[in-house]
């Protein structure tokens, strides 16, 4: 169990792997979806799948906010960024996400648009304060983890009376795509490893419909390999004992009620979009946030003409099937050949938390490096 | 961007605006603590939004930081263990730290310098020659 040595507590990891082995029913198969891209990264980085019994398959979910932005929205962002005299600010993760014909913000910058990377939406607001004669737009992406930061930034902009700042809002919410996946006919999941940091904001209660309406257990989990192993053990234990509940493995960070203050300001600043397109998943009702009426002057979509053209994903790209867990990254036709982290066709290859990039960087090596029967190795 | 990184609050710079300085792995920058609230010396809690104060922070507290905002209060042991786990992440952690350490905005062409040679061969991005694209596949066909 060579990779276990990298874990926070190798002995605990060995115990967990043995417990998982003992909980698995040899005659059945288990498919668990890890919703969050951070988990996907951990799973590949630490070779978690190779530690698990063959009966358990991990399916990678849609929880990478960069990966789910559709090409049309990237085109819209580039269109806004190329307005004369405008400063367009964005997280670094979005710079190489391809729009139509492979265009991206990095290429727009190279063509002369004033595109700048920021670490925080507050840094984008600071640019607007520093350069009052220029229009500044912030490209907001992210789940409920990130949206409160944009909300606080807008509250501050409003309080300061800033007039040259606006937000191109692409914040998305985690529950509607989960529901869409549960409604998908081609999936037979046995349970979910729930997202950790999103849950610091929304808590565990919004997931209750998963066991109640769909009969699947969900365990909110942290990002370290031990967290992921323990959440799998908790899912198996529920199945073994005939329970079906929302459980919290990440109690050191996540509270059942989440962060009520953060939820309150989300409600104050944003409203739900009637529908929003997700890359590879199509339009999902009420799955994204838009800037509310009270903050309309900060809404880049009202301030600038945004083409809003829907662009179909490249035919060769199977990001949608990867995001829904229907195929594995390496089963995509262009994986590792036409589509690599250096020259991504699909978003799953762009972000380090995308399933394809994670597998490209780590998974291939692990598959070759790990012996078949890890539990047979000596215990330290 | 998606990582939460643990940092210690070392200074409150502007209690009214909930601005604090956080130290992550020896790197200091300003963060906002408004999602948690600030605990004053007299025990009261202030924030720019309405908070219940149960997670309010002060100097020497450890927090999980995401896009410049303290998201959760954590204890010191948890912070150390999380940091160790993040270091093992490699590149994503390096990138996060580079962005965390940036003072103000970053030039994407510099941040992705090793990947943009094909965009601006002479390094003269804005005024440089027309972008040329790699010919190995159909992916970035670009607008030229």
Show which of residues 36-55 on chain B sit within 8 Å of chain A, judged by CB atoms.
37, 47-52, 55
Instruction: Please tell me if residue A146 touches chain B, with a CB cutoff of 8 Å.
Output: yes
**CB nearest to B104's CB, from A126, A223, A361:** A126
Answer whether residue A358 is part of any domain: no
H/E element holding A210?
helix A209-214
A230 lies in the same domain as A200: yes
- Among A52-56, A162-166, A375-379, B120-124, the minimum mean pLDDT is found in A375-379
A60 lies in the same domain as A94: no
A134 lies in the same domain as A180: no
For residue A377, CA distances in Å to A17, A135, B48 come to 12, 61, 55
End position of a domain, from candidates A303, A336, A364? A303
A133 lies in the same domain as A236: no
Tens-place pLDDT, residues A227-278: 999 999 999 999 999 999 999 999 999 999 999 999 999 999 999 999 999 9
Question: Which pLDDT value is given to residue A5?
Answer: 65
* CATH value at residue A244: 3.40.50.11750
Collect all residues with Cβ–Cβ distance below 8 Å to A34 and sequence separation of at least 6.
Answer: A40, A43, A58, A59, A60, A61, A63, A192, A193, A221, A228
Ranges of residues in chain B with a pLDDT under 50 are 120-144
Question: Which pLDDT value is given to residue A1?
Answer: 47
A60 lies in the same domain as A75: no
Answer whether residue A136 is part of any domain: yes
The reply to whether residue A89 touches residue B3, judged by beta carbons under 8 angstroms, is no
pLDDT(A107) > 90: yes
For residue B96, CA distances in Å to A224, A254, A324, B66, B87 come to 17, 22, 27, 10, 11
* CATH value at residue A94: 3.40.50.11740
Instruction: Name the residue range of residue A132's domain.
Output: 71-174+258-303
Answer whether residue A344 is part of any domain: no
Residue A21, judged by CB atoms within 10 A of its CB (0-12, 13-18, 19+), counts as: middle
Residue A253 per-residue DSSP state: T
Looking at this predicted complex, what is its ipTM? Answer: 0.89
Backbone φ, ψ for residue A125 (5° rounding): -65, -35
Question: Which pLDDT value is given to residue A6?
Answer: 63
Helices (H), A28-94: 37-45, 48-51, 71-81
The reply to whether residue B68 touches residue A264, judged by beta carbons under 8 angstroms, is no
What distance in Å separates residue B11's CA from the closest CA in chain A?
18
A215 lies in the same domain as A160: no
A169 lies in the same domain as A94: yes
Instruction: Please tell me if residue A177 touches chain B, with a CB cutoff of 8 Å.
Output: no
Residues of A in contact with B74 (CB under 8 A): 252-253
Question: Which pLDDT value is given to residue A270?
Answer: 98
The reply to whether residue A117 touches residue B138, judged by beta carbons under 8 angstroms, is no
A26 lies in the same domain as A113: no
**How far is Cα A65 from Cα A143, in angstroms, rounded to an integer?**
6
- Among A21-30, A122-131, B73-82, the minimum mean pLDDT is found in B73-82
pTM: 0.88
A42 lies in the same domain as A184: yes
Candidates A100, A107, A170, A319, partner chain B, best to mutate (most B CBs within 10 A):
A107
Answer whether residue A116 is part of any domain: yes
Q: How many domains does chain A have?
A: 2
Answer whether residue A311 is part of any domain: no
**How far is Cα A114 from Cα A282, in angstroms, rounded to an integer?**
31
For chain B, the structural domain boundaries read 5-101
**CB nearest to A261's CB, from B52, B99, B108:** B52
Closest among A149, A78, A81, A163 to A119, alpha carbons compared: A149
Show which of residues 54-73 on chain B sit within 8 Å of chain A, judged by CB atoms.
55, 64, 66-69, 71-72
Answer whether residue A32 is part of any domain: yes
End position of a domain, from candidates A243, A270, A303? A303
**CB nearest to B141's CB, from A101, A351, A352:** A101
- Whether residue A88 contacts residue A135, with contact meaning beta carbons closer than 8 Å, is answered with no
A39 lies in the same domain as A140: no
Answer whether residue A182 is part of any domain: yes
Count of other CB atoms within 10 angstroms of residue A369: 11
Q: What are the structure tokens assigned to B18, written together?
A: 């909930």
A54 lies in the same domain as A78: no
A78 lies in the same domain as A214: no
The reply to whether residue A352 touches residue B91, judged by beta carbons under 8 angstroms, is yes
**How far is Cα A316 from Cα A337, in angstroms, rounded to an integer?**
11
CATH 2.30.30.140 fits B5-101, yes or no: yes
Answer whether residue A313 is part of any domain: no
């Amino acid at each position: 169990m060579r990779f276990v040595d990298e874990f926070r507590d190798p002995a605990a990891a060995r115990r967990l792997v043995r417990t998982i082995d003992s909980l698995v029913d040899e005659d059945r198969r288990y498919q668990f979806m890890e919703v969050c891209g951070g988990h996907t990264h951990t799973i590949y980085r630490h070779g978690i799948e190779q530690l698990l019994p063959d009966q358990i398959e991990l399916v990678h979910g849609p929880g990478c906010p960069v990966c789910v932005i559709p090409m049309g929205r990237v085109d819209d962002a580039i269109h806004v960024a190329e307005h004369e005299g405008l400063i367009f600010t964005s997280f670094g993760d979005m710079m190489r996400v391809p729009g139509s014909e492979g265009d991206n913000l990095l290429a727009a910058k190279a063509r002369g648009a004033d595109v700048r990377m920021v670490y925080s939406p507050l840094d984008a607001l600071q640019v607007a304060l520093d350069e009052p004669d220029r229009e500044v737009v912030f490209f907001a992406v992210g789940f409920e983890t990130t949206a409160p930061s944009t909300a606080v930034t807008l509250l501050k902009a409003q309080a300061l009376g800033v007039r040259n700042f606006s937000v191109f809002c692409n914040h998305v919410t985690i529950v509607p795509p989960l529901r869409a996946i549960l409604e998908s006919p081609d999936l037979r999941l046995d349970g979910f490893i729930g997202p950790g940091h999103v849950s610091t904001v929304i808590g565990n209660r919004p997931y209750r419909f998963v066991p109640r309406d769909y009969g699947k257990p969900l365990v909110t989990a942290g990002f370290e390999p031990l967290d992921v192993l323990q959440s799998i053990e908790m899912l198996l234990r529920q199945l073994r004992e005939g329970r079906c509940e929302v459980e919290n493995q990440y109690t050191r960070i996540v509270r059942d009620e989440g962060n009520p203050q953060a939820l309150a300001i989300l409600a104050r600043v944003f409203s739900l979009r009637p529908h929003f397109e997700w890359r590879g998943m199509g339009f999902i009702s009420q799955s994204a946030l838009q800037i509310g009426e009270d903050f309309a002057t900060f809404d880049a979509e009202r301030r600038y003409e945004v083409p809003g053209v829907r662009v179909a994903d490249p035919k060769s790209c199977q990001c949608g099937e990867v995001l829904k867990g229907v195929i594995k990254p390496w089963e995509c036709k262009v994986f590792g050949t036409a589509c690599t982290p250096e020259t991504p066709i699909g978003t799953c290859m762009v972000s380090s938390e995308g399933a394809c990039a994670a597998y490209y960087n780590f998974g291939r090596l692990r598959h070759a490096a790990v012996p078949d029967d890890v539990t047979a190795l000596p215990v330290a | 961007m998606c990582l939460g990184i643990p940092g210690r609050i070392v200074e409150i710079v502007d209690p009214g605006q909930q601005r604090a300085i956080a130290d992550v792995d020896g790197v200091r920058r300003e963060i906002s603590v408004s999602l948690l609230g600030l605990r004053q010396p007299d025990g009261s809690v202030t924030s720019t939004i309405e908070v219940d104060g149960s997670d309010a922070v002060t100097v020497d507290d450890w927090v999980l930081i995401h896009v410049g905002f303290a998201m959760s209060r954590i204890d010191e042991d948890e912070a150390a263990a999380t940091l160790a786990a993040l270091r093992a992440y490699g590149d994503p952690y390096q990138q996060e730290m580079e962005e965390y350490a940036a003072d103000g905005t970053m030039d994407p062409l510099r941040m992705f310098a090793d990947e943009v040679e094909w965009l601006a061969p002479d390094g003269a991005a804005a005024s440089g020659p027309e972008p040329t694209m790699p010919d190995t596949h159909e992916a970035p066909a670009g607008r030229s």
